[in-house]
């Protein structure tokens, strides 16, 4: 592969990028010709692409290896990361199960205790592969705890294998199920379990389109070939899920064509050969059955309630016209859970948790006193559980697990991590800033106390802005290291997210996607105006849809930031829907095939199509994984190639490609630490930071 010499950076030798071959591919959309010179990089199975990946990584790691304090960041991050992490326990049959990581284990281990408190390893994902790249992707026990099915992911792929064990003896009892994707596992008694998958696509399983999801039932003692299709054979749906209610009486089926809006069905398992009953027959709302009592169903919905509500209805006449409010919609977004014979309404108030406890008559019993302002999650369990668990965290408080007695409403610390981080020396505050069109947007800003507002603080501005996803406060070791080194960490809650319900989400979709970028730009301008930072010390970061956010923002306002860190981003907005499950994202994005107006709008911000020759782009490190079958790496490959070809000035443009890694889930601790180390070292180095402050 030919090498071309281009830019130099911060007293370094000029960087020699691989010369990326350009092809002649041209697509025509509504009489408009669009060149796609790097189409060949979409072929993730070609030797040519593999050679390009290897050459790019050699350049990237050659650059990173020169950064003088890269090892110091790694040492500190490993030291901070090295503490015991224990998950909330769950009672299954006669054992209590929980996950534990002794500190730097690549994957957390599942342990169990018997009634006498004797502990043993139940499942150790670190033994699944030598290099730590095979992870546990799901675990579900039969109702009596005697059987278990667990899913594994290899190399970070969304495709799973499912292994079935006798939970008591820990012996594998059946052949492994293969080619399972975007699936839960839900047992029906001890007979078998429901799972979802697609037909294996023709072409590359990591990039070929998958769009007909089916719900299957696997009966124990039979082969996977005999698994019966329960739903999806006759109805083409992109996402189908199925789960059994806790009383084992009903199968609930959800079906969707996009990432928002689903049909809702139910099947009575008490009656052999009962028909599947339709509850919701369209995709205009999100709906989910959270519990049942006899024939009474409890449904979480945003139908006529953009911030969500819980309704009840009788199974014998379950259409929406008969729904009755159980917990009515409020001004805050609702995420409910059930456990211990109660329903917990977890609300987001300006992206911070407020939790209220209800009985099954709809009476509000109490607001649960949380340890502070932050994110509370959990409060789930079986109806008979006398103790439930929840976690609490914020940007300066490591995730702590509390046990909760629902009858008395009493919380007790169950597991508090011992992290070598002095939380009391840091502060986190929420501000509201004004976006381009006058919309008020909240942002959390976290840093060491006493930070000087002189415009010289290295700052990471991180956001997502899409798919109804809410960014709520949570602690991260990587961010703790960043702040120890004098950094500011800022997270705005952009439109497109779910922080203020459906209206907030919709305001950042399709022809209003620019609102999301404007909100992000306004956040950067606020931080600069308030002297937290300046353009010379600002980095923007985001992953997946947030990678698109970074790509669009840096191509629209390249002078605004010093460093851009797009991770696993959706960068080619004209072709995203042609890969794997990408077509399911059309609710948020629209597609270039919809109409001329939508095509032109997408082309107007698509990062791959808006890199201009002769523009000085910020120092950029694109990150992706070669096994990412959610947002295929071709997006990142093409964007990096465009930037390397067209970059003016001296800022480096690198792409860091994790090998045998996917979209992020299940990534080993070692790989996660190294990625964060490289991102922080690259960022500080390109801000001109020559040495790190001493951590006392």
Residues with active-site annotation: 544, 663
What residues have CB less than 8 Å from 384, skipping those under 6 apart?
341
CB 216 within 8 A of CB 231: no
Residue 4: how many other CB atoms lie within 10 Å = 12
- DSSP for 297-327 reads EEEEE-TT-TT-EEEEEETTS-SGGG-EEEE
Counting Cα atoms < 13 Å in the Cβ hemisphere of 676 gives: 24
Whole-angstrom CA distances from 209 to 157, 202, 206, 628, 671 are: 15, 9, 9, 14, 28
Please give the structure tokens belonging to residue 157.
Answer: 């792929």
Q: Show the beta-strand stretches assigned E in 145-284.
A: 147-154, 159-166, 171-172, 177-181, 186-188, 192-198, 213-219, 228-231, 239-244, 250-256, 263-268, 276-280
If we measure between CA atoms, which residue out of 411, 375, 340 comes closest to residue 91?
Answer: 340
Nearest-angstrom CA–CA distance, 195 and 149: 10
Which residues sit opposite 85 in a β-bridge?
Answer: 101
Nearest-angstrom CA–CA distance, 342 and 519: 39
Nearest-angstrom CA–CA distance, 386 and 597: 57
**C-alpha torsion sign, points 645, 646, 649, 655:** negative
Calculate the dihedral angle through the C-alpha atoms of 29, 31, 32, 35, rounding to the nearest 10 degrees.
Answer: 70
Which residues sit opposite 462 in a β-bridge?
Answer: 541
Nearest-angstrom CA–CA distance, 456 and 634: 36
């Amino acid at each position: 592969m030919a090498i071309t010499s281009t830019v130099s950076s911060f007293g370094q030798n000029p960087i020699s990028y691989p010369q990326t071959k350009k092809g002649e591919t041209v697509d025509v959309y509504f009489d408009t010709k669009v060149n796609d010179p790097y189409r060949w990089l979409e072929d993730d199975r070609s030797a040519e692409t593999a050679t390009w990946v290897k050459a790019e990584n050699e350049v990237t790691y050659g650059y990173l290896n020169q950064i003088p304090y890269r090892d110091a960041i790694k040492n500190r991050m490993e030291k901070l990361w090295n503490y015991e992490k224990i998950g909330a326990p769950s009672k299954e049959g006669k054992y209590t199960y929980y996950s534990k990581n002794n500190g730097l284990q690549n994957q957390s281990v599942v342990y169990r205790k018997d009634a006498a408190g004797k502990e043993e390893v139940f499942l150790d994902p670190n033994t699944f592969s030598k290099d730590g790249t095979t992870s546990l992707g799901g675990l579900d026990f039969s109702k009596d705890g005697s059987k278990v099915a667990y899913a594994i992911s290899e190399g970070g792929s969304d495709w799973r294998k499912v292994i079935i064990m006798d939970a008591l003896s820990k012996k594998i009892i059946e052949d492994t199920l293969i080619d399972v994707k975007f699936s839960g596992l839900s047992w029906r008694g001890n007979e078998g379990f429901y799972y979802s998958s697609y037909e294996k696509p023709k072409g590359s399983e990591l990039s070929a389109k998958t769009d007909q999801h089916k719900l299957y039932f696997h009966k124990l003692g039979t082969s996977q070939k005999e698994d019966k299709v329960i739903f999806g054979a006759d109805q083409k749906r992109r996402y189908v899920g199925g789960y059994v209610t806790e009383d084992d009486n009903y199968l609930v089926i959800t079906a969707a064509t996009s990432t928002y809006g689903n049909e809702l069905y139910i099947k009575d398992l008490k009656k052999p050969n009962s028909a599947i009953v339709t509850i919701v027959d369209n995709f205009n709302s999100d709906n989910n059955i959270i519990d049942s009592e006899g024939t009474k169903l409890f449904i979480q919905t945003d139908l006529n309630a953009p911030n969500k509500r819980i309704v009840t209805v009788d199974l014998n006449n379950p259409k929406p016209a008969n729904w009755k409010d159980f917990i009515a919609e409020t001004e805050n977004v609702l995420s409910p859970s059930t456990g211990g014979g109660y329903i917990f309404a977890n609300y987001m108030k300006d992206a911070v948790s407020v939790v209220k406890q209800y009985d099954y008559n709809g009476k509000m019993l109490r607001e649960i006193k949380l340890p502070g302002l932050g994110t509370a999650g959990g409060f789930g369990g079986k109806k008979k559980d006398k103790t439930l668990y929840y976690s609490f965290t914020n940007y300066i408080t490591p995730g702590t697990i509390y046990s909760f007695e629902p009858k008395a409403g009493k919380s007790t610390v169950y597991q508090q991590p011992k992290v070598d981080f002095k939380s009391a020396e840091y502060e986190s505050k929420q501000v509201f800033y004004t976006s381009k069109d006058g919309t008020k947007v909240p942002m959390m800003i976290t840093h060491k106390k006493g930070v000087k507002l002189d415009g010289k603080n290295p700052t990471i501005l991180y956001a997502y802005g899409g798919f109804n996803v809410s960014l709520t406060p949570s602690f991260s070791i990587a961010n703790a290291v960043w702040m120890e080194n004098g950094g500011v960490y800022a997270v705005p809650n952009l439109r497109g997210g779910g922080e203020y319900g459906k209206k907030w989400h919709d305001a950042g979709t399709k022809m209003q996607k620019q609102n999301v970028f404007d909100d992000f730009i306004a956040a950067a301008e606020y931080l600069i105006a308030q002297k937290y930072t300046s353009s010379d010390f600002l980095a923007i970061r985001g992953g997946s849809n947030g990678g698109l956010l970074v790509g669009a923002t840096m191509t629209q306002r390249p002078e605004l930031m010093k460093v851009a860190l797009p991770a696993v981003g959706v960068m080619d907005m004209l072709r995203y829907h042609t890969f794997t499950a990408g077509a399911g994202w059309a609710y948020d994005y629209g597609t270039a095939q919809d109409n001329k107006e939508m095509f032109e709008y997408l082309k107007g911000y698509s990062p791959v199509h808006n890199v201009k020759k002769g523009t000085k782009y910020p120092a950029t490190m694109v990150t992706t994984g070669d096994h990412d079958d959610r947002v295929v790496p071709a997006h990142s490959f093409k964007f990096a190639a465009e930037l390397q070809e067209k970059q003016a000035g001296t800022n480096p443009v690198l792409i860091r490609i994790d090998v045998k890694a996917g979209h992020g889930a299940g990534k080993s601790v070692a790989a996660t630490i190294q990625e964060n180390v490289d991102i922080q070292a690259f960022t500080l180095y390109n801000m001109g930071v020559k040495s790190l402050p001493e951590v006392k």
